[in-house]
Every structure is written in structure tokens, then in C-alpha cells.
A and B are shown apart, each in its own frame.
Chain A
Amino acid sequence: MDVEIRVQETALDAVAEVASVYAGNSSVGGVVSFIGLMRDMNQGDEVASMTLEHYPGMTEKALAAIVQEAGQRWELESVRLIHRVGEILPQDPIVLVAVASAHRGEAFRACEFMIDYLKTRAPFWKREQIADGQTRWVEARGSDDEAVSAWEKKS
């Protein structure tokens, strides 16, 4: 399996990442990608920007473990898992998960699995800037834990 995992401060070029997940591999029959974008609204407040912090070292290990587990569950040709950190503006891609496999079923399932696990297992934290220069930490959501529990029942 061809895997690339990155945590980066620079802009994420989703189109280029998706192209790279299948380029030159003629065993690939399908690619599924998820692009998580920053919204300008959260909990009824306008959000001007966001700062993403992480735990360097642990983040890369956690992401590698998620990709490895997906690779054990499904037959995959190639994976790209790229996450932004630092200052982020509305419409910026925050995360990209791209999966290439021989058939679509594996790619669809593995892509959803990886983003669901990333949401609860990878040490990233968002701090958003709302009106008047106020900032607040984004709270974790219970629905994200439920998504992971659902996968664990399927295993």
C-alpha cells in the first residue's frame, strides 16, 4: 500500500493530492476522497478564523495507526491523509482523506472509517476566533464517538 501522511502549516491542495493517489497505478479502479472545510459559522456565531494546534510526534503516530488499521480491514492500493495546522480561514481545506482501491466498495468504506477515527483519535484541537477578537476552544462532539463505536461493532 502506497501511503502518504502529512501535517502541514501550508495550504492544502486537495485536487493535487487526489490526483497523486492514483497517478501511475493502473490497478486502481476507484478513488474516494473526503475534504473537510472550514465553515464561517459554528453554534450560531460567525467565525472569522481558526487556529489548529496538535501534539507533534503523537499526531503522526496516531494517523499512521489509523491508516494501518484501514489497510488491514480493506484491500487498498493507496492512501493520502493530509491535515492542516496553524491559521485557517473559512473555505480552507482542513483535512483530506483520499483512498484508491481496485473497487469502489473498499475505497468508500475505508475513507469514511479513517475520517471517523481521525475525529476522535488524532490529537488536534481547534480554537476559533469569533466576533470582536474573542476566541474559544471548539468542544468535542458526542456524535463523533458514536461514529467510531459503530465501526467497532462492525469489526
Chain B
Amino acid sequence: MIRILYFASLRERLGCAEEALQDVPSTLAGLRAQLAARGGAWVEVFADEQRVLAAVNQEMAVAGQTLQAGDEVGFFPPVTGG
């Protein structure tokens, strides 16, 4: 199982703050493809590689990052702090 968190405008567009997935895709790219396959807002959000950043276990991650059971994945738009 992995835990997925969605933040800021992504959370609002998807209508989802957090979920758990039982089947763990082998990579972050695989997870994105799986989420996009849900269609609707999900495909709109996850088709746009540039506008969605990801963190695995709270560290910035790239598409090729491997996933394993127990990981926490966060998806969010480009940051705007400071």
C-alpha cells in the first residue's frame, strides 16, 4: 500500500486530499499514468508533466523514481512560498 497526498490547487481540482492505493506501481511515472487513466480532472491534471511536481517520502522526486509499499507520495503544483 502507498499513501498519496494532494496539495493546493491540485487537491481542489481533483476533489481529493489523500488516498491509499493497495497495488503499488513500480515507478512514479507508472503511478501518474495510473491516476491519469481515471479520466476527467485526473487526466487533465496528470497529462501536464510540467505543472505537477511530486515528492516521494517528502523528498522531491523525478518520474523514474521507484516506489515500494509504505511510501508516501505527494503531488502538488509549483511552489509559491516566501
Contact = CB atoms under 8 A, between A and B. Distances in A.
A125 B80 contact: yes
A133 interface: no
Given A53-B8, A139-B80, A121 B59 contact: no
A124 B74 contact: no
A140 B77 contact: yes
Contacts, number: 70
Given A36-B82, A94-B82, A137 B74 contact: no
B58 A119 contact: no
Interface string B68-82: 000000101111111
A95 B81 CA distance: 8
Contact of B79 (A57, A61, A94, A121): A121
A58 B72 CA distance: 11
B41 interface: no
Given A52-B81, A118-B82, A123-B79, A57 B58 contact: yes
Contacts of B80: 124-126, 137-140
Interface string B7-18: 111000000000
Q: Tell me the dominant secondary structure on chain A's binding face.
A: mixed
A144 B81 CA distance: 11
Interface residues on A, range: 20 to 34
Nearest to B74: A55
B77 A124 contact: no
Nearest to B57: A58
A122 interface: yes
Given A53-B8, A55-B7, A57-B58, A119 B81 contact: yes
A142 to B, nearest CB: 10
A139 to B, nearest CB: 7
Interface string A69-102: 0000000000000010000000000110000000
Interface of A: 36, 52-55, 57-58, 61-62, 83, 94-95, 115, 118-127, 137-140
Given A55-B76, A83-B82, A122-B79, 5 more contacts: A122-B81, A123-B76, A124-B81, A137-B77, A139-B80
Q: Return the 8 tightest CB-CB contacts between A and B, nearest first.
A: A124-B81, A140-B78, A125-B8, A58-B58, A119-B82, A137-B9, A138-B80, A126-B80
